[in-house]
Chains A and B, each alone.
Chain A
Amino acid sequence: MSSLATEPAAPPASVSSPPRPRRRRRLPTVPWLLLSASILILGVLTGYPVVRMLVMSFQEYERAQVMGMPAEWVGFDNYTAILTDSAFWAVLGRSILFMLVAVVLTMVLGTLIALLMMRLGKGLRLLVSVGLLLAWSMPPLSSTTIWGWIFDTQYGLVNNLLTRFTGERWFGHSWLLDPLGFFTILTFIIVWGAIPFVAFTMYAGLSQIPGEVLEAAQLDGAGAFARFRLVMLPYVRTIVTVLVVLSMIWDLKVFPQVYALQDIGGDRQKTNTIGVYIYQMGMGQGHFGTASAIAFVFVAIMLLLSIYYVRRTMKEEEL
């Protein structure tokens, strides 16, 4: 992949056909110009809230301050309050654990489905694609409601089937009240909704691999797993990095599904994830200073984690 691409701009000597206007040595500023619009837009769109929140996180900022009351500076009070609050650490640990499980499941299952799609005939592949597309198109709130119905305490499909097949009475069994059950179902909903994106993207990436490369590996006697690990994976490594990083971010910050599922019947205290926790602290209870401080602690953790991960994987595929 990138090994082919390492030759910078050194043209083979033979192509020095004289008069043709050679455009190879273009200004080094051109790439920066191409990049600048995106950087600028994102800089403004994130810069403004970040600065405001940074200020807020050192203030006592409540509803009254939003209305115009002058805010009082409290130094690191918001931060010490969070960092010594066991509830915060519980939420954080829960969110990270959930994220890890969800990301691994999403990546593994999504990749398997992409590989499956490569092997299927036209008809079945179309069927799988349509199914993925349908799942992907579901608004999170609707899919949460539907899954909530499937696992409903009273008239849910799962309890219904279990009662029918085990002979025991499952009606009235709540899947959501127990935090473990809640998170199992949440993982189900999130992974179900996240697989299509991963599967489609992996499929698009895998289909860019030249057929000859795979055939050559096959002729060399590489087994299916070896072909995947040694031939396919290096080709799609950048794509895998992107998918992992994005999935991590999404699953850590997951919001509507948790919120809706808690509404259906979960113990908020025991099932809060970081996004919902910040929301309740800020928009819910009006402790905007504290909410901002939590957000910054969270961002700091994300930076630490991702600097390590992103740097490491990018070094491997350095251009």
Chain B
Amino acid sequence: MTTTTIGRPVTVTRPPVRKPARWASRRARGIALTIVTWIAVLAFFFPVVWMVFTAFKPESQAATLPPTFAPDFTIDRFQAAFDRDMVPYLINSASASIGSTLLVLALAVPAAYALSIRPVKNVRDPLFFLISTKFMPVAASIIPVYMLLQAVGGLDNITWLTILYVGINLPIAVWMMRSFLAEVPREVIEAAQIDGAGLRTEIFRVVLPIVLPGVAAAGLICFIFAWNEFFLANLLTTQVARTTPPVLGSFVDGRGQFLSILSAASTIAIVPVVIAGWVAQKQLVRGLAMGAIK
């Protein structure tokens, strides 16, 4: 894309005397970059913006030919979504997502440390074991899991769902954290060790601040995954522990009159993710600013 257009090195030491040709090509590159950016922005925003827009339409104007661009704005569909008891489901989703994410991070950081900075022998074997737990299709392992939960009375139980989410996200988090920890400059750790830092100090005061962007990224992926997880939640919960995604699914009744209410409910459902993303994003940026440690 833009990277391939011009391979001309840009001198950093001295502001170059701008020859017109170079100036023009730079400008062309700048314009190309801007165009590509806006295409990307449009591609990612459009479906979401359209969804939010649809959420404010009455059901009869949600899917029309041609599309209605000036609908009778109404918050009626949000009302309807809340009338179907969205709040308890949102709370369930929140506890399963936040709970599993915190647990996963607490387990993943030490594990990743033991797989990168001070590695166990044969790092590859535990790493491979971790990722291989993700090979089994959930569509198949759901059967024994269902029967087990039935036997121990764990169906429709948010704690069990949280535990399952830990199992699903933990390998991802460990792998990701490990790849970030592997980039931590060895000198920094050695300096800390020479200064007599204990293991805890080393992890919490030295390593973690450096890889905070990585923690943020791993935490965000775990949170979003758990928040949007449909399959397990749909089969293993019914009422008490029901989370939001299966509820969204229940709006889709196949009769064509659900687009607005689904959009409204989905809009409600993405708000917490956007907030979580915002929190993580701040960490990402802070981590960036700290890039100076290198």
Shortest distance between the CB of B273 and any CB in chain A (Å): 3
Answer whether residue A266 sits at the interface, using C-beta atoms and an 8 A cutoff.
no
Are B139 and A278 in contact (CB-based, < 8 A)?
Answer: yes
B residues contacting A by CB (< 8 A) are 1-13, 33-34, 36-37, 40-41, 43-45, 47-48, 50-51, 63-67, 107-108, 110-111, 113-116, 118-121, 123-124, 126-145, 147-148, 163-164, 166-167, 170-172, 174-176, 178-180, 182-183, 185-187, 190, 193-194, 196-199, 213-214, 216-217, 220-221, 224, 228, 230-231, 235, 244-245, 248-249, 252, 254, 259, 262-263, 266, 269-270, 273-274, 277-278, 281, 284, 287-288, 291, 294
Interface residues in A15-74 by Cβ distance below 8 A to B read 15, 20-24, 26, 28, 30-32, 34-35, 37-39, 41-42, 45-46, 48-50, 52-53, 56, 66
- Residue in A115, A141, A152 whose beta carbon sits within 8 Å of that of B230 in the complex: A141
A28 surroundings in chain B (CB, below 8 A)? 120-121
Are A239 and B179 in contact (CB-based, < 8 A)?
Answer: yes
Are A160 and B66 in contact (CB-based, < 8 A)?
Answer: yes
- Residue in B37, B217, B270, B278 whose beta carbon sits within 8 Å of that of A138 in the complex: B270
- Given A42-B167, A53-B141, A278-B139: A23 and B178 interface contact (C-beta under 8 Å): no
- Given A137-B277, A241-B179: A35 and B111 interface contact (C-beta under 8 Å): yes
Using CB atoms, name the residue of chain A closest to B210.
A208
- Given A119-B2, A160-B65, A224-B3: A201 and B44 interface contact (C-beta under 8 Å): no
Where chain B touches its partner, the secondary structure class is helix
In the complex, per-residue mask of A156-187: 1 if CB is within 8 Å of any chain B CB, else 0: 01001000000000010000000000000000
- Given A116-B36, A210-B294, A246-B172: A274 and B196 interface contact (C-beta under 8 Å): no
B135 surroundings in chain A (CB, below 8 A)? 249, 298-299, 302-303, 306
Are B1 and A310 in contact (CB-based, < 8 A)?
Answer: no
- Residue in B50, B143, B179 whose beta carbon sits within 8 Å of that of A283 in the complex: B143
Are B40 and A113 in contact (CB-based, < 8 A)?
Answer: yes
Using CB atoms, name the residue of chain B closest to A276.
B139
- Can you name 28 A-B residue pairings with CB atoms under 8 Å? A20-B196, A23-B193, A23-B197, A26-B118, A30-B114, A31-B115, A37-B111, A42-B130, A42-B171, A113-B40, A124-B34, A129-B281, A134-B274, A140-B245, A141-B245, A150-B50, A208-B213, A210-B291, A210-B294, A225-B4, A238-B182, A245-B175, A255-B231, A275-B138, A275-B139, A295-B136, A307-B128, A311-B124
- Given A131-B40, A131-B45, A155-B64: A7 and B186 interface contact (C-beta under 8 Å): yes
Are A119 and B33 in contact (CB-based, < 8 A)?
Answer: yes
A239 surroundings in chain B (CB, below 8 A)? 176, 179-180
Answer whether residue A235 sits at the interface, using C-beta atoms and an 8 A cutoff.
yes
B174 surroundings in chain A (CB, below 8 A)? 38
Total A-B pairs in contact (CB under 8 Å)?
358
Are A128 and B41 in contact (CB-based, < 8 A)?
Answer: yes
A303 surroundings in chain B (CB, below 8 A)? 132, 135
Are A39 and B287 in contact (CB-based, < 8 A)?
Answer: no
A207 surroundings in chain B (CB, below 8 A)? 213, 284, 287-288, 291
B179 surroundings in chain A (CB, below 8 A)? 205, 238-239, 241-242
B244 surroundings in chain A (CB, below 8 A)? 139
Are A226 and B7 in contact (CB-based, < 8 A)?
Answer: yes
Shortest distance between the CB of B47 and any CB in chain A (Å): 5
Give CA–CA (A145, B216) in the complex, Å.
29
- Residue in A24, A147, A205 whose beta carbon sits within 8 Å of that of B47 in the complex: A147
